[in-house]
């Protein structure tokens, strides 16, 4: 009983601080226009940036994958769960990233969270024998995603040095001051709650200069950034064999799963050591089959059109919002956060939008630092200008209501 009392107190405290989260159940597929029970809502909350999550060709690919491979993999990849669909997808991902990562090989994971949990601990462990005397250090951006933070927690025996968000000078000083023999820089490529893009060319340069490796989590850039949707590395035309690149497939790619692309030897090491790869059932081959189709769309003319439509929507939104008082964070990506500050005010703004038939999530700590609660507006190629105008009109109304 004591534990239940403690839980009850903690839940009440969360409620008081406007931090209690609630789950909503959708009755329609992921799309800008959704229904929850009887309520129709215009949604700006998914990471389906290209509008592929309910694309007819991908729905068909999932059905075809299930007919071909069944619905379950039956085992972990290294036992018997690795199907031809997984292998083909990994080849496709490696080919896509090979202009940016020499000797690229790919490893498919069930989720981005699991991919990130795999990479940092395995890379830290790999540095063990080479640098036993001089130690290992991880240099992490202060606004990294929870999965990267948890990965550093799992990387035993490494010093973790957090540098100020996107602060190249601070990172340079931290690297210069470190005596560690094995160094890893770990960063989001597109920051999930701010929408800004990490200064990857400068980070890669520092990595070369200080003999460090650079782990890049491109969950929100893969599919969206770069002419062919290859992500942040293509966006910056950045090529390095010291980059370990993770991407997720449940966001712009519209399906599920994630991957790591790196030098073939790094991937071979992950295959031996990554616990979130070794000790979990492989995701259904039908998912890999679907993602393969999605990657073909992303790399082709349809992907290009969708990226152009998304860009157009981003520009339309930003220009419409210029006349309002909201504090829009400086983001050029599909993630357009409005900084509010207090948890209560962010919730009040989200509720005002909800009453107007819009779903825009209020993001609060611990997802963002305390005092920086915000509305996270996520735009998609599937939104129309009319959808965005509706949002901006509702934001103008909410502004008056909440200020
Ligand atoms: C930056 C970042 N990395 C990793 C993840 C985890 O990816 P997944 O949803 O595939 O687990 C997310 C969000 O979910 C994210 O925002």
Q: Which atom of ligand 1 is nearest to the CA of 113?
A: 11
- On whether both 214 and 132 belong to a single domain, the answer is yes
Do 164 and 221 belong together in one domain?
Answer: yes
Domain-embedded: residue 20: no
Parent domain of 95: 56-299
113 lines ligand 1 (CB under 6 A): yes
> Ligand 1 centroid vs 17 CA: distance in angstroms?
26
**Final residue in a domain of this structure, among 299, 322, 344:** 299
Whether residue 310 is predicted with pLDDT greater than 70 in this model: the reply is: yes
Same domain, 40 and 110: no
* Contact status, residue 261 vs residue 101, Cβ threshold 8 Å: yes
Residue from 113, 114, 246 whose mutation best tests the ligand 1 pocket (most atoms within 8 A of CB): 113
Number of domains the chain is built from:
2
107 pLDDT more than 90: yes
Pocket test for ligand 1, best of 109, 147, 256 (most atoms within 8 A of CB): 147
Residues 6+ apart with CB under 8 A from 76: 277, 278, 279, 280, 281, 282
- Do residues 309 and 318 make contact, with C-beta atoms less than 8 angstroms apart? no
**Is residue 5 in a domain?**
no
Strands 33-36 and 39-43: antiparallel
Task: Give me the long-range contacts of 67-73 (CB less than 8 A, separation at least 24).
Answer: 68/285, 68/286, 68/289, 69/284, 69/285, 69/286, 69/289, 70/284, 70/285, 70/286, 71/284, 71/286, 72/281, 72/284, 73/281, 73/282, 73/283, 73/284, 73/285
Q: Kindly state the average pLDDT of the residues 338-342.
A: 95
| Rounded (10°) CA dihedral 361, 365, 370, 372 | -20
When pLDDT is averaged across residues 259-265 and rounded to a whole number, the result is 98
Report the mean per-residue pLDDT for the chain: 95
Q: 237 and 263 in one domain?
A: yes
Question: Are 183 and 43 members of one domain?
Answer: no
Residues 306 and 188 in one domain: no
The model's pTM: 0.95
In short, whether 387's Cβ falls inside 6 Å of ligand 1 is: no
Q: Is 380 in the pocket of ligand 1 (CB under 6 A)?
A: no
Residues 6+ positions from 117 with CB-CB distance below 8 Å: 147, 150, 151, 154, 275, 276
Same domain for 203 and 84?
A: yes
The CATH number for 398's domain is 3.90.1150.10
Ligand 1 centroid to residue 150 C-alpha, Å: 12
Are both 90 and 175 inside the same structural domain? Answer: yes
Q: Is 372 in the pocket of ligand 1 (CB under 6 A)?
A: no
Active-site positions?
192, 220, 251
Say if residue 129's pLDDT is above 90.
Answer: no
On whether both 100 and 194 belong to a single domain, the answer is yes
pLDDT tens, 158-181? 999 999 999 999 999 999 999 999
Q: Which of 49, 248, 255, 334 to mutate to test the pocket of ligand 1 (most atoms within 8 A of CB)?
A: 248
Cβ pair 281, 74 in contact under 8 A: yes
Q: Is the CB of 187 under 6 A from ligand 1?
A: no
Report how far ligand 1's centroid is from the alpha carbon of 367 (Å). Answer: 12
Closest ligand 1 atom to residue 250 Cα is 10
Q: Residue 145 C-alpha to ligand 1 middle, in angstroms?
A: 7
Same domain, 319 and 375: yes
Q: Looking at the domain assignment, is residue 268 inside a domain?
A: yes
d(CA 302, CA 307): 9
pLDDT, position 395:
94
Token pair for 163? 């540098």
Cβ-proximal residues to 245 (8 Å cutoff; 6+ apart), any chain: 97, 100, 101, 216, 218, 231, 233, 260, 261, 262
Q: Three-state SS for 203?
A: helix
Q: Is 49 in the pocket of ligand 1 (CB under 6 A)?
A: no
Instruction: Give the strand pairing for 373-378 and 335-341.
Output: antiparallel
Q: Identify the domain boundary among 254, 283, 299.
A: 299
The CB of 112 under 6 Å from ligand 1? The reply is yes
Q: Phi, psi at residue 26, to the nearest 5°?
A: -85, 140
Partners of 43 in beta bridges: 359
What spacing in Å lies between the alpha carbon of 403 and ligand 1's midpoint?
A: 33
Per-residue pLDDT tens over the stretch 2-41: 999 999 999 999 999 988 989 999 999 999 999 999 999 9
Would you say the CB of residue 188 lies under 6 angstroms from ligand 1? yes
250 and 143 in a common domain: yes
pLDDT tens for each residue of 356-403: 999 999 999 999 999 999 999 999 999 999 999 999 999 998 876 655
Residue 126: other Cβ atoms inside 10 A: 18
136, 41: one domain:
no
Interval between CA 216 and ligand 1 midpoint (Å):
12
* CA-closest residue to ligand 1 atom 3: 219
Alpha helices (H) in 143-263, listed in sequence order: 146-154, 168-176, 200-209, 232-236
């Amino acid at each position: 009983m004591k534990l239940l009392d403690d839980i009850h107190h903690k839940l009440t405290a969360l409620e008081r601080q406007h931090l209690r989260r609630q789950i909503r159940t959708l009755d329609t597929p992921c799309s800008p226009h959704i229904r929850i029970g009887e309520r129709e809502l215009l949604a700006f909350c998914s990471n389906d940036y290209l509008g592929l999550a309910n694309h007819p060709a991908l729905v068909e690919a999932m059905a075809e994958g299930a007919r071909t491979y069944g619905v379950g993999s039956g085992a972990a990849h290294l036992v018997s769960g690795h199907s031809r669909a997984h292998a083909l997808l990994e080849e496709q991902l490696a080919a896509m990233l090979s202009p940016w990562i020499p000797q690229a090989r790919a490893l498919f994971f069930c989720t981005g969270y699991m991919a990130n949990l795999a990479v940092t601990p395995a890379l830290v462990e790999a540095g063990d024998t080479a640098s036993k005397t001089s130690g290992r250090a991880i240099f992490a951006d202060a606004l990294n995603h929870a999965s990267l933070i948890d990965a550093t927690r799992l990387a035993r025996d490494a010093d973790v040095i957090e540098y100020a968000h996107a602060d190249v000078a601070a990172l340079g000083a931290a690297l210069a001051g470190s005596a560690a023999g094995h160094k890893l820089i770990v960063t989001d490529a597109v920051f999930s709650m701010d929408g800004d893009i990490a200064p990857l060319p400068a980070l890669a340069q520092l990595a070369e200069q200080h003999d460090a490796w650079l782990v890049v989590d491109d969950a929100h850039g893969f599919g969206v950034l770069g002419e062919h949707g290859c992500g942040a590395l293509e966006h910056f035309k950045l090529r390095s064999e010291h980059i370990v690149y993770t991407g997720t497939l449940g966001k712009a790619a519209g399906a599920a799963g994630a991957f790591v692309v790196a030098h073939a030897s790094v991937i071979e090491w992950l295959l031996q050591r990554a616990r979130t790869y070794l000790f979990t059932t492989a995701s259904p081959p039908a998912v890999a089959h679907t993602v393969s189709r999605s990657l073909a769309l992303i790399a082709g003319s349809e992907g290009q059109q969708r990226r152009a439509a998304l860009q157009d929507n981003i520009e339309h939104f930003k220009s419409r919002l210029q006349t309002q008082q909201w504090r829009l964070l400086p983001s050029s990506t599909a993630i357009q956060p409005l900084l509010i500050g207090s948890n209560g005010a962010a919730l009040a703004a989200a509720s005002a939008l909800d009453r107007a038939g819009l779903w825009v999530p209020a993001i609060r700590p611990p997802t963002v630092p305390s005092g920086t609660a915000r509305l996270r507006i996520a735009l998609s190629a599937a939104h129309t200008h009319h959808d965005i105008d509706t949002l901006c009109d509702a934001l103008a109304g909410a502004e008056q209501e909440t200020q």
